[in-house]
Structure 1
Amino acid sequence: MAERASKTVSVASIRSPVGRDGILDVAARLFREQGYGPVSLRKIAEAAGIKAGSIYYHFGSKDEIVVAILDAGIRAVHEKMRQAVLGHPDGAAAAAILRAAIRAHLRALLDVSDYSSANVRIFGQVPQSVRDANLPTRRAYEAEWDNLLTRLQRDGALRRNVDIRRLRLMLIGALNATLEWFDPERGSVEALASTYADVFLDGILEQREV
């Protein structure tokens, strides 16, 4: 009986009081602020107020934490975008649907959490093995956009000669790049989303009669 109690105490002492989600929250903030390289397991543990060894109860390595953060970041944006599109009834104007999708992506990226921001900031810095592990989640979100754009093209809302893949790459790339310069003190996410939607949907040149 005493031996069983001793084992219970031993296992409990390894378990992190912060928990798996708490470790991820701290790590996501650090990766967003500092990038991939400077953030170590020891730094994550110090920021979480736990011993470095406690992390191993939940994660086998730093890169395992990174994969979880990358996946969570994309899923957060994916879910917001999907719900925004589903919120429009059948037959809704293509412009309204695309505006909603653009707005949802930017809100999730800039407002929701450290996860989506960390995803964009560190993806280009992580090892190829981490990128490969994150690929299914990333591909699922890209497919969501491809399906939406293809449907709008099939319905005649997008020009037939528009390359869907290139349009999606340009659109998501432009939206993600806002992390590098957007300042919430100088404008709202809503205004930013409206501006981006105007450019993508209406263009930048005045239409002049010839």
Structure 2
Amino acid sequence: MSELAVKQVSQGVRSPVGREGVLDVAAKLFREQGYGSVSLRKIAEAAGIKAGSLYYHFGSKDEIVAAVLDVGIQVVHDSMRQAVSALPEGTGAEASLHAAIGAHLRALLDVSDYTSANVRIFGQVPQSVRDANLPTRRAYEAEWDALLSRLQQEGALKSDVDIRHLRLMLIGALNATLDWFDPARGSAEALSRTYADVFLNGILERQDT
């Protein structure tokens, strides 16, 4: 998908039916129904076009899936990067982590079918599709590793904390909110503050000895 299309998704703008419109529909279906239940015919019907018209843009269902996965990562990556870069110069890593967690959760829960679809179906798709998505996924992971490393260098994290393991735990916890988050019972923003506080300050009361 083009950079313009990714920006439109990030901003919640829906493209007319065409390549981007087909991807919009597919992302919504994959988010709601998973990989196996969504066929090319179902995508075409939801997009209001003939099934054969899909082949003008895509050679197969897996080409659509690969594009949805890439955009899903790109949207949340752009959201996180923009949230952190918008902070005033000299902002500490702790505040940056709050911003990054909030951006990830908002993209996941409030903004994009693509991001949510990526989390839901990544483990369901063929290995070849997962392999094709790895460069985009690795770039986002590297962004987190850089942020967590900076937090560690500033003394906000213990020096012996394994950055990779922490990143896996953090992103895994954030992505798992898709299974239980209820917007009627709280906002993604409030949830992000809770997660950041737990990761930075722990859950046990510290007692003087």
The farther-off stretch of 62-71 and 82-91 is 82-91
Which ranges in structure 1 are unaligned for 5 or more consecutive residues?
Answer: 1-16
1:79-124 deviation line (CA, Å, top 9, x unaligned): 1101111122343222211101100100011111100000000001
Whether contact under 8 Å (2:69, 2:133) holds in the other structure is yes
Structure 2 CA distance for aligned equivalents of residues 104 and 148 of structure 1: 14
**Higher mean C-alpha deviation, range 190-199 or range 161-170:** 190-199
Between 1:83-92 and 1:145-154, the stretch displaced more is: 83-92
**1:143-181: per-residue Cα shift (whole Å, max 9, x none)?**
000111112222323211010000000000000000011
Structure 2 CA distance for aligned equivalents of residues 94 and 72 of structure 1: 27
Name the structure 1 match of 2:105: 106
After superposition, the C-alpha distances for 1:7-56 in whole angstroms (9 at most, x for unaligned) are: xxxxxxxxxx8200110010000000000001000110011111100000
Native 8 Å contact 2:93 2:154 kept in 1 = no
Q: Distance in 2 between matches of 1:81 and 1:18?
A: 28
Match of 2:144 in 1: 145
- Larger Rg, first or second structure (1 or 2): 1
Counterpart AA for 1:50:
I
* Letter of the structure 2 residue corresponding to residue 131 of structure 1: R
How many pairs align? 194
* Structure 1 Cα separation of the partners of residues 208 and 157 of structure 2: 22
Corresponding position of 2:82: 83
**Which AA in structure 2 matches 1:20?**
R
For 1:154, the aligned partner's letter is: Q
CA contact (8 A) 2:93 2:147 kept: no
Structure 2 match to 1:73: 72
TM-score, normalization: structure 2? 0.90
Q: Which residue identity lines up with residue 54 of structure 1 in the other structure?
A: S
**SS of corresponding position for 1:177:** helix
What amino acid maps onto 1:162 in structure 2?
V
The yes-or-no answer on 1:41 pairing with 2:45 is no
Q: 1:19 and 1:80 mapped to 2: Cα distance?
A: 25
CA distance in 2, matches of 1:106, 1:194: 10
Partners of 2:153 and 2:185 in 1: how far apart? 39
Partner of 1:191: 190
Tell me the percent identity: 79
Check whether the contact 2:70–2:133 (CA below 8 A) recurs between aligned residues.
yes
SS at match of 1:124: coil
2:51 corresponds to 1:55:
no
Distance 1:18 1:91 in 2: 44
The letter of the residue matching 1:103 is: G
Distance 1:175 1:61 in 2: 31
Matched, 1:154 2:136: no
* Distance in 2 of aligned mates of 1:143 and 1:93: 19
- The separation in 2 between residues aligned to 1:192 and 1:157, in whole angstroms, is 21
Q: Report the AA paired with residue 35 of structure 1.
A: G
Task: Answer whether contact 2:108 2:116 (CA < 8 A) is retained.
Answer: yes
Distance in 2 between residues matched to 1:66 and 1:193, nearest whole Å: 29
Name the structure 2 match of 1:9: none
Distance, in Å, in 2 between the alignment partners of 1:205 and 1:79 is 34
